[in-house]
Structure formats: structure tokens, C-alpha cells
Structure 1
Amino acid sequence: MVSVKNTLLLAMAASVQASPLAGSSTTSTSTAAVPTVTYIPPETDLFTPPAFPEGAIDISNNRTLVNEIKKEYGLDTADEKVTTPGEVSIMSGSCNQGSCPDYDKAFDMMYTWSQQSTPSPGGAPPNVLVWNDFNIRVNDCGKCYIKRVGSTGGGCYDFTACGRAQSICVDSGKNRAHRIWKDNGHKTCYRVEQVGLGGCGIIMMRVIYRPVGEIACNCFAAPERNRAINVCRHINLENRIASLEGLLMRIKQASADERERLLETVSFDQWLDTRSAGDPKPETSRATPTKSVQPFGLQAGPQGLLIYHGPTSIYRIRTGGPPLSPSDMALSDGQFDHVAQHFGIDLEDEVIMTALHQFFRWQYPHFMFIYREAFLRDHFGQRTKSKYWSLPLLMAVCALGAVMLPDRAQSQMSEQFYAAAESIIIVSGLTHPSITAVQVFLCLAFYQIGKGELSKGWELSGIAFRMAQDLGFQKDPEQWIASDASLATSEDVEIRRRIYWGCYTSDKIISLILGRPVQLYDEAGEVEHTESLPDFPDMAPWLPAGVDISRMFEPGSSGSRERLITSFSEHILLSKTIERILCTLFSRKSAANGITGLTLTDDLDLELCRWQESLPDCIKWNRWEPPTTSLLPSVAALYILFNSTRIVLHLDRVSAGASSQSQSVSRTVCTSAAQDVVCLVRQYRAQHGLEHAPLIFIYGIVQAHRAMRALDITPHEATYLVQSLDECCVAWGLAVQARAHLYELL
């Protein structure tokens, strides 16, 4: 009899769409008549690029320099050429590879990772240059064709042999390939196998991607998704099926009374996943909050400040009159200039501007509760009674920016900036709640957590979140337009939303890092999701690292705005899942109650996988990308947060008294997530340097190391993670503490 597992796997696989490589739009009118197969390469069969050497420079895109080095070692420098098979000697190993495919294949793709080390004078560390290449090789019509298709994890080769135009594409990430004959549109798709050949001389690693069998061009793979996502979803499906089979077995073996009890307590909805991989997220995740007239709102307090009162408040709500302005009782920042001077800060010193640049280059994408354009407009414009700038906010921003300064003497100014901001805000902020006061307290909280002062950081963040609620940030600002004169424009409304969601995501990061309850709940908020606002002129010097400034001026280009706001929007959605994890999985009451069949871990992990599947293309990442692929810090931080969350969700189940099936699933998830963290750290280090790593990187490194030690896997990568904290220590004292703890475990 066919098992439930096999039946359900076939049904679920049939609902998933095709890979873009196999099913992309072409003129093809036919495909090979082969059965649809489900193929996901095991993690152990997939090639992991060599570790990026300490201090190495990637020159993959500098072809002139690469070719000069190749000539020194007698290596071929041609990007494309045609030869006859007789001109090539018998191929063996990593050294003797020519322009013909290896293993008697019609085509293959050859990946080469090369490295040159030259000694430095004075006993300094050697200079290390690295580069990688992907070359597609074809044996057709009595000739061999080879073409370098770049360093992007694969590519396509268009050529003509014996008068027939054709195209061959190889995708190293999905282990797939296809060949299209352009004269008749016939297309054949292949499963690709990776064969590691080792190294030779300056060639550190060579890998052959060879076709090993035809597959249907609509085989199991989600459209425009990376391979890791398919594995994530596949694991969840198998776990759901295993849980369902276990329940059916218990029902079969139970007595009549026990069977009735089991059937009454189970809901089969928990095993059903009617959405296909390509379906959008549920409408509820992005839905606009329902607007309604509430019997509560903003009211002027005894000092004339606007504060929020809910339906049970001791104060009666003001019901009429003109909109109130919160600025009438605002303190002038000018009266606190002497505080900055007391801490040795000259407000006209260039270090202020330098620290601001560093903040908006490295920190701003992770502190979206500050709206850059409004802050800078007020900073360089009229500061008197400004809504989005204050002296303590300037000091707090400079404190976070200064920790990223390469000049150690200047970076030590961060302590002075912090002390000035704290001194002013404690005097003025607690009695005069305001937008900038919320931002200052939250900046100070992250500064203290980054130093390793976790208790103080927790307390400061609590003040920030309580003050945000005091100001009514949890309600959509459009509800306050009739009551608050500061909401004069649509920009004011959007900025207020941005600040709320920045506080919401910050709350989840802080709670996750410290392992404590959240303070801002999604259900308590009624704020619409944030949208993009226009970039101000002359913003290029203030853009985050990794942004291609040249593309900002292309017709129809949205510059950095699209990817940054998209990352932030997806961070909000991920934070909602993190909230459920922190509130549900780690609650003793929830653990005691339990559920029949699927565990909370499985449900929450499936929610994480769905989030990953639906990420927009502009912020997708996968570990199979070469180190030179552009990686925005905001995207890197988002994936570090995602993988860290999966590790903490699953790791305890590996050592707990869970079933062997559950333990196996959790081991696979933790292994994959930890390896993703390693790849992200390497890629970020190569492009930006870990001295500029965001705070969440420290958490991700620690969790990945924890998983690797618990599972006793890849000890060299665990050591690499510990060593990577050395560079993070330049900016973050928390990294110093984490490194010391991890060294004790080595």
C-alpha cells in the first residue's frame, strides 16, 4: 500500500512551480519527455567555497591584474576560445583542465578559486590576492568551446556550432542546467552534480558541475527562489507529514474512548498548507489596520504637553477645540550647549560632521526609528523648535557614529557624545516627552548594549518604548491629525509611522539578544506600514554603504530607497514572527499546554520559511553567491537575524527529549542556518570589514558558534567565527565579552 507520506509528497510537489532556469520564458515549444522528479541535493554534496583568507583582497573584477598573474604561472588568460579535442591533453585533477568538458560530458561548468600570496617587507603579513572564475565548456561538432561567464555563481553561454545557434545555462546554486537549440526552440533540462578536484599551485580549488541526467523542465523548485529556501520548505513538509503519520498511528492503536479524545483535540488545519510556494503572504500580514473612531486620544497634560490617554484613563478626553501643539512648552536646546562644552565637545568641530557621516553610512539602516532626511534638514536648517532634531539627539547619533570611526582617537569621542546626550535627556526628556526624546533614549540603549552594559541598555530601551506609548505612537498618526498640530503634512504622518515601526523592530532585537519579554505588541498597535518618501537633493554623501550612487541618477531609478525601505518592511514582518516566538515558544504556560501532533517549533519555523520565500527579488541572498556579489549591510543584517532566530528556535530541541524525527529536522535546520551565518560574515568582511558590522552580527556569530559546538560540526568554521569577533571588538564592547566567553569553550 502506498504510504501517506509518499502520497502527500507527490501531491505537494505537484503544486510547486518550476525553477527560473528550467522554466524561464523562451521560444521553446517542447521539452524532453521525461518524468517530473523531485531533486534537492543533500547539504553534504554541495560545494562550500574556501575560507576567505585573513586580510585578502578579492580581485575577481580586475581582469587585467588577474590575467597578469595568470601569465606569470603559465595559465590561460582567454575569456573565450575554440579548440579541437586533439589539441588538449588528457585531463586529470585540478591542474590539467583544458577547454573540453571533463568526464566525457557534452558540456560542463568549471569553477576555479585562485589565490596568490606575496611576502611583505619587515615581517608584515603577506599580501594575499584571490579571485574566482566560472567557465562553461562545450564539446560539439568536433570542437571544444570555452567561455568565462563571470564570477556570479554560473551563467549562460550563447554560441554557434556547425551553423546551429544554441544556449547553455548552468545554475550552481540549484544544481541545474538547460540547453536550448535556437533553430527549433527545443529545450532540455539537466540535473547537475558537483565534483571537487582539489587544488594545484595557485589554484586553491576547482569544482566541475557536470550534467548527470535529464529532468523535466518543470521539476520541483520554487520560482525565483534560492536553493536554500526549497530545502527549508521541504524539511517543513516532511516534518508535517511525519507528525501526521504519528497521529494516525496513535489513533489506530488507541481504544475507542482514547480515539474520540484524540479526534476532539486535534485540528487538521495545522497540517494543511494550501498555499503554493509562489502564493503571496496572507493578507493579514500586510493588511491596513481598520480605522475606527475611538473614545480616547491625545490630551494636553498639566504642562501643556500632548500625552495619550486610553479608554480607562483617569482623565476625561478633550472633545473639542483647535488642534493642540506640543511645542509650546518645549525646552530650547540652546540652553544645553554648555553641557556639550563641559564634556569637551565643540559643536563646530569637524568631528561632529565625521561622526554623522559614519552613522548614516553604517548605522542608519539598522536604526530606522530616525528619519534621515528630516533630521539632516533640521540640522542644517532652522533648529529652533524643530520637530526632528535636538541637541541630545545629535549627541546620541554622534556617539553611535563615532564607534565606527577608523581613527581610534576620534572613536573615543563616542563616550563624550554619550555622556552629553545622557546628561541632557535625563534632565529634559523624562518630564518633556517628545519624538526626539524617544529617539535619544533608544540610541542610548543600543549604545549601552553595544558596550556590553546589558542591564542599563534594557532600562533605557524601556523608557523609550514607554514614552512612545505615552505619546500615542501605537495608534496610526492619521487618528491624531485633528488633535495634534505637529502632524501638518503627509510627511509628518509617514515619519511618525517610521518611528513607531523602528521602535517595534528594535524592541524585538533587544528582547532576542537579552532573551527577555517584548514590550511593544503587534496586536496593541494600529499603525499602517511605512512607505517610501522622496529622497532629498544632495543625499549622496549620506547614503548607506554598498549603495551604487551611479544608479541613483538613472531614469526611473529609485536609488537606494527601494532596497532600504524594502529591507525595513520585511524586517517588520520578521519581527512579528519573532514576537510570536518570544511570547509563545518560550512561555512555560504554552509549553505546558502543548498541542497534539505538530509542535510550536514546527509551526513557527514554517512561518519563518514562508517569510523567506516571499522576500522581494531586490533583497534576496543565498550562500552560493560568490563573495564579490554586492551585499548591502541592511540585507546582511536581515539574513543574520533570520538565521539566528531559526537557530534559537531549534537548537534546544536537538538536546531535549524530542522524537528522533524532530531532532533530525532541528539538526538540519541549525546546521544550514549556522553555515549561512558563516557565509554572510565572510562576504560582509570581504566587502565592508567587520569593524563596521552591525550589532546583530555579534548575536548571529554567537548563536552560529553555539549551534556548531552543540552539533559537533565544521570545527574550523566555529574557530573562524570566534576569530571574526576580533574585528567586531573594534566597535562593540559586547563583542569583547562574547569573544572571551567563546574562547573559554575552545
Structure 2
Amino acid sequence: MEEPLLGDSVKTSCERCRRRKIKCDRKRPCTRCAKAGTECVLQGIGEKQRPVSKSYIQALEGQITALEQVIRKLAVANGDERDQIISDLSLATAAPDVSPPDGGQAGPESDAGLAAARVKSGQLRRLRGENAAQFFGGTSALQIHFSKESSSSSPAAASAMGLESLAISTEGLDPSTNQNLINSNVGLGDLYGYVDDFGLKSASFQYEPHHETSQKLMSTFFLEIYPYNMVVYREYFLRDYDVGSGKYYSDVLLYSICALSALQYDDMLSLSDVFSNQAQTLLYSNLDSPDLTTLQALILLGYREIAVGRASKGWLFCGMAFRLAHEMGLHLDPTNWEESGESSGEREILRRVYWAAFMADKQLSLYFGRPPALYPGESDVRNTIRLRYPPGWQGLLETYICKVSANEWDNGVALVGSFIYRAELSKIIHVIITDLFENRRGGADPTIIATKTRRIHVQLTKWLSNLPSFLHWNQWTVGQVPQVVLHLHMMFHTIMIILHRPPSHMFEKPGIADSEDVEICYESLQAILRLMRTFSRYYRYRSLPLDFVHTLSTAASTVMMKRFLQKASWSDPDIERALSLITLAMDEIQNTWPCVREVRDVLLQAQQTQASMPPEDPLDAPDLMNGLEVNNEFFANLGDGDIGTLITDEFLSAQLPGMGLESDLEPFDFNQMPGPS
């Protein structure tokens, strides 16, 4: 059943009117709820309830087992120890409701030592001879490189992770543009060569907003990128762009869109720097009075900078956007401001921007393995709901995007569903980062960590079970599935692997190869490979966002873990097929997301150095995760500009902090399902 749009009439009374036994006019939202300033919730989603899944039951059983272990510890603990255990565990989280199934994973066996070891992983990396360092936590895409033998990483890491700028062709551009590209790594005040000492624009830009090239790249953004980066509200942006002004359009936002879109074409890569520099020039002059489009531009520019290898700059841009979200009050629901003067549609746009920023925060925190900036407990923003197309939308669609009927333009139901369920999944990601992988306090009890891991596993299984039919996918799904649905499931299985994969220095532990944690990783790996095959039949990998790089890195590390644990050769059919699919995807996206090149280079070097000698003795094995032989000759070949890895025994043996699990997940009712039209 399609969720009713804002202003539609529905066939049933809302939950509030039913509970109060008063007449409901059955609008969406109803008049009484709108007047009271409360959320108008419908009952039921119009789908036949499915039986409870076996995987969800297994997850709950595993959680019960973990809690029984905690109870046994409490029974023998003294008063102070008992208070500490309860504080660490934070039992305030309510058990999730039983929901319709959608497949899932089996519950893991109890292994407190493995859980404690997993969350202690991380890397501190720097350029040799430089004072600055970069931290990459246990959830990061660089987890593929981590092992106890490793004390350095491949030279490719410098350009891939933002320590060198991307070499961009300047062929065909005028000399002034070439010089600007050469100087593209200087500060904001010097960007593009068009800003004087007073920060004022001193020359016109070659590509005006309605230039043919600008319009082509803008169209590409809404065709390819927008479904995964919905921080911009498409319809109102184009409405204001058409007239040249408005609260939802600015030149800085347009040029940020163009900079990210140019990475979709190999013959337009050089234009990405041109548009990015112009956007940053305008951004610098707008920071004194930022507006909503400034926040949106910062997020898109942040992704773009990470894409081309300037990870530190991209991280800072996105961090500025998240700070602006708090400054603008986006973390507070618009209904808190009675005199705001905003229409119901404008309120929904503000909610959407907040949730898009929230998802970007979790995505980047997971990618880099760093603490998040936006906390659910600090926000009371409601789920957004769908909006009607604005007047004249058909004309805007045909003029600026493509010649197609508005009703056939996109699958609004799937787009809406993927947006809201990504937000719900991001709340679980937040708990994974803050309660498991943040190194804040030592002395955490392994039993508590294992119990928290089980609880998060249940939440993930619950999330998957709650997916409605139009977001459903499993290995038996046939036919074309919306790209946002396939991406949603890729994200889920990537997170499942991150939650359960053992760190490489635990590979020698007896029984690890047959553990439930490893089995879950294998099952999610197979799901990712099937999703990738399905996706490639109908869509381009290049349109997928940054988290696809994380998915490929996670899948590659799982394949290499499988090869090591099973003592298989590189020519093993399962290993060869999986790595072939992954490397082909990496080759396709390497110009859009150059940061994937490091993972690809690691795979190639691992195959070249170890193809003829699979490890016999784990104690004598080369680097377990990246497949690189770590020896004196390897280090001798590293130049001064290469990356070193700073991992000490103290760091590896440090106890991960036992953060209390204050789950920020709110009960989710699909009848509140929001989304862009």
C-alpha cells in the first residue's frame, strides 16, 4: 500500500482520533492532529502479516543467553562491581517487538573474548616526516589492512586516503584554469584564483548556472546520484533554479552538485575541480551568513573532496555542515516553533535535510571509524512524509532532467521507503560506533561487550524483518529491483560483517573458522555478491555513493579471511569468482571514487606475492588481511612520502571502553513513512 501524500484523504481514522473516540476527517494529516500540533499516525500498513522469522527467533535466543551470563556475573559480584556492570550494560533499552520477517542471519555463539578483541582494532597513520596523523577506527574501510604483523601499508594509501591530491588532466582547459588546478590544494581564501584579499569575487566564472554544461551535470546528479544523496529537495530546488533565486537554490549548491556529478564521466573529470573550486570560492564568502543551501553544499563538497583523495578536507567540510545543522535548529522538529511561519511542506523539507545530514554523519563515521557528530538523543525530529509535486513540476522535469511523465519518473514508494529505512539503519550504526567501537574508557568487561553485540544483532535482524514488501529482497528475488532497494540491502550486509568479523590477529584462535561470527560474515558476503550481480544487470556501479567503497572493502576483506581460514589457493573457484566480481566493480568506480584504488591494489599485490605460497603456519604467515609480505626489503622500498602505520602493543592490548548502551532507536511505525516525492 502506497503511503498517502501530504494532503491526501485516507480510508481509516488516525490512531489519535480512534483512541480519543472522536470523529476524524481522514486527511493526511487530519485537521485535529494538525491543530493540536501532534503527529498523525495511521494504523497498519495494508500488508498481510508474515510469520516470525527463524533468524529473528535465533537472535533473541542468543540475546537471552548473553543476558544469562551477565546475571551469573552479577550473582558473584560485590556491590561496587554490581553497580559497574549494570552501568556498563545500560539495561534501559526495551526489547524490540516481533515483526514480519525478511530473512536474516543466525544468532552468534557467545564469545566474549572475540567481541572484546574486535572493538579494539584501529589504525593511526601519518606521512613520514609530517606531524599530522589520521586515525581510522575498527569500522573503517581500511580494516582490510589491519593485522598484528603490519607496521606499514601500501604506497597507494597516500593518494587514496587523502594525503596526496588527485592528479587531474587539464587538457583542453585554458592556461588560467590549468594554473588554478595546480594550486587547488591551497586555502579557501586562495581557491580558484578569483578571490582577492577581501574575499571578494574578482572575475566571472566560465560556466554560468544555466550554461549547457552546468545543466547537463545537474541533470546527471538527479538521474544518477540523488536517490542515494537526498540532502537536496529536488522539486523545490529546480523550481527556484528555474527563476534564478529562492530559499532552496543557490549558485554554491548548484556548483557543488556539478562538481560531484562530473566524476560520473571520465571525459569530464577535470571539470570536477573547476566546479568545486568555484563552489568553494562562493562558500567562503557565504560563511558569515550561511543558509540551508550552504549546509547542503558542504555535505556534497565533503563527499567530493573525499572522492578525489582529500579526505581530511572532506571530513572537515561535512563536520561544518553537521555543526550548522545544530546552529540552524534542524535537530529540533519544526513544530517546536509555533511562530516560524513555515508551511507544512517547508517543515517536511527541513526534516528531510536533517535526516539526510544524519545519515551522512553515520556513513562517514563508519567509513573512517571515527565518532559521530549528530546524536539521536539530542534530536526530536519526526520522520518526514511525502510531499505532492509542486505546480509546474512536469515542465521542470522535461526541461532540466529528462522527457518523461512525472508519474513514471521514479518509484516514489521505494524512494520514500529507502530514505526512511536508511535513517532507521543509521540509528543502529550510531549505536555500533558509540557503544562498541569508540575507545573512550578502558576496563570494559568482555561479557558486557558480547551482550551489547548480541543486542545490536537483534536490532539489525529486527530492522530487516520490518522492511515492507516493496523494499524486500532475498536470493530468490527475480526481475528488476529498484536500485535504492539493492543499495539498502548492501548497506545492511556490510554492517553485519563489520559487527561480526574477527580481527586478523584472532585468526589463530582455535575454532574461529567454525564460529557463528565467521558464518554470519560468509552469509552476508554471499548476499553482497548476489546484490552486486543483480545491480550490474540494470544500473551503473559508478552512481553508488561512498559507502559502496566500504562495501567492496568489507567484501574483499571477508574473501581474504575466508581464503586464509580455509587454507585455500587464489585459484579456488569460489575465491576467484568473488575477487573477480569485486575487482571489476573497483575498476568501474575508480575514477568516481579513487579511494577504492588502495583496496584494489592490496588485492592485486596479495595475489602476486602469495599466489604460489598459501600460508601453512599462521605464526609465520604474512600480513593476514592485505596479503603483503612484511619484510625489510618491503620497508626499504618505501619513500619518505609513503604512509607509515603507528600501531603499538599498548594500543592493541588496551581495553575498549564499555559505553552504556543507551539505544536511541525509537519505535518505528511505517504509517509515518516519509520521503521525497
Q: What TM-score does the superposition give when structure 1 sets the normalisation length?
A: 0.54
Residue equivalent to 1:418: 276
More helix by share: 2
For the residues of structure 1 that align with 2:212 and 2:98, how far apart are their CA atoms?
55
Determine which of 585, 591, 600 is the counterpart of 1:724. Answer: 585
Map 1:283-432 onto structure 2 (within 5 A).
342=204, 344-383=206-245, 386-405=246-265, 408-428=266-286, 430-432=287-289
C-alpha offsets along residues 352-396 of structure 1, whole Å, 9 cap, x if unaligned? 11111110011111222111111000000251xx11100111100
Shift of 1:640: 1.8
SS at match of 2:206: coil
For the residues of structure 1 that align with 2:403 and 2:502, how far apart are their CA atoms?
41
More strand by share: 1
Q: Residue type matched to 2:231 in 1?
A: F
Residue equivalent to 2:455: 603
For the residues of structure 1 that align with 2:449 and 2:282, how far apart are their CA atoms?
55
Residue equivalent to 2:329: 472
Shift of 1:491: 1.5
For the residues of structure 1 that align with 2:467 and 2:231, how far apart are their CA atoms?
22
SS at match of 1:412: helix
Q: Residue type matched to 2:529 in 1?
A: V
Determine which of 462, 477, 487 is the counterpart of 2:319. Answer: 462
The verdict on how the C-alpha distance between 1:593 and 1:615 changes in structure 2, with shifts beyond 3 A counting, is same
Shift of 1:506: 0.6
For the residues of structure 2 that align with 1:662 and 1:590, how far apart are their CA atoms?
28
Residue equivalent to 1:568: 419
The verdict on how the C-alpha distance between 1:426 and 1:661 changes in structure 2, with shifts beyond 3 A counting, is same
Kindly tell me the number of residue pairs found equivalent between the two proteins: 447
Map 1:207-222 onto structure 2 (within 5 A).
none
For the residues of structure 2 that align with 1:720 and 1:591, how far apart are their CA atoms?
42
Shift of 1:720: 2.1
Determine which of 516, 534, 546 is the counterpart of 2:388. Answer: 534
C-alpha offsets along residues 543-592 of structure 1, whole Å, 9 cap, x if unaligned? 9xxx9977936xxxx96222111111111111111001100101333871
For the residues of structure 1 that align with 2:443 and 2:510, how far apart are their CA atoms?
16
Is the CA contact 2:334–2:350 (under 8 Å) kept in the aligned structure 1? Answer: yes
| Bigger Cα Rg | 1
Q: Residue type matched to 2:488 in 1?
A: L
Q: Residue type matched to 1:679 in 2?
A: R
Map 1:224-263 onto structure 2 (within 5 A).
224=50, 230=53, 232-233=55-56, 235-237=58-60, 239-240=62-63, 242-243=65-66
Residue equivalent to 2:174: none
Determine which of 403, 407, 414 is the counterpart of 1:552. Answer: 407
Map 1:705-744 onto structure 2 (within 5 A).
705-712=556-563, 714-716=574-576, 717-744=578-605
For the residues of structure 2 that align with 1:590 and 1:604, how far apart are their CA atoms?
21
Matched, 1:447 2:316: no
Is the CA contact 1:433–1:471 (under 8 Å) kept in the aligned structure 2? Answer: no
Q: Residue type matched to 2:227 in 1?
A: P
Residue equivalent to 1:8: none
SS at match of 2:444: helix
SS at match of 2:264: coil
| Structure 1 residue runs without a partner (length 5+) | 1-221, 281-334
SS at match of 2:288: coil
SS at match of 1:624: coil
Map 1:27-106 onto structure 2 (within 5 A).
none
Matched, 1:515 2:375: no
SS at match of 1:592: coil
Matched, 1:645 2:495: yes
Shift of 1:278: 3.2
Is the CA contact 2:207–2:213 (under 8 Å) kept in the aligned structure 1? Answer: no
Larger RCO, structure (CA 8 Å, separation 6 or more): 2
Shift of 1:238: 5.1
The verdict on how the C-alpha distance between 1:262 and 1:347 changes in structure 2, with shifts beyond 3 A counting, is closer
Determine which of 469, 482, 492 is the counterpart of 2:346. Answer: 492
Is the CA contact 1:239–1:661 (under 8 Å) kept in the aligned structure 2? Answer: no
Is the CA contact 1:239–1:662 (under 8 Å) kept in the aligned structure 2? Answer: no
Residue equivalent to 2:542: 691
The verdict on how the C-alpha distance between 1:677 and 1:499 changes in structure 2, with shifts beyond 3 A counting, is same
C-alpha offsets along residues 445-491 of structure 1, whole Å, 9 cap, x if unaligned? 01111223211110111111112211111111222342x4xx43211
For the residues of structure 1 that align with 2:494 and 2:242, how far apart are their CA atoms?
39
Q: Residue type matched to 1:470 in 2?
A: E
Q: What TM-score does the superposition give when structure 2 sets the normalisation length?
A: 0.59
Shift of 1:493: 1.0
239-248 vs 725-734, greater mean Cα deviation: 239-248
For the residues of structure 2 that align with 1:478 and 1:651, how far apart are their CA atoms?
42
Is the CA contact 1:647–1:703 (under 8 Å) kept in the aligned structure 2? Answer: yes
Map 1:606-625 onto structure 2 (within 5 A).
606-625=458-477
**Alpha carbon RMSD of aligned pairs, Å?**
3.8
SS at match of 1:519: coil
Q: Residue type matched to 1:492 in 2?
A: E
The verdict on how the C-alpha distance between 1:279 and 1:363 changes in structure 2, with shifts beyond 3 A counting, is closer
C-alpha offsets along residues 595-625 of structure 1, whole Å, 9 cap, x if unaligned? 4595221111111110111011111111332
Shift of 1:744: 2.6
The verdict on how the C-alpha distance between 1:243 and 1:457 changes in structure 2, with shifts beyond 3 A counting, is same
For the residues of structure 2 that align with 1:541 and 1:632, how far apart are their CA atoms?
23
SS at match of 1:403: helix
Matched, 1:585 2:436: yes
Q: Residue type matched to 1:424 in 2?
A: L
| Structure 2 residue runs without a partner (length 5+) | 1-47, 103-193, 567-573, 608-677
For the residues of structure 2 that align with 1:682 and 1:340, how far apart are their CA atoms?
50
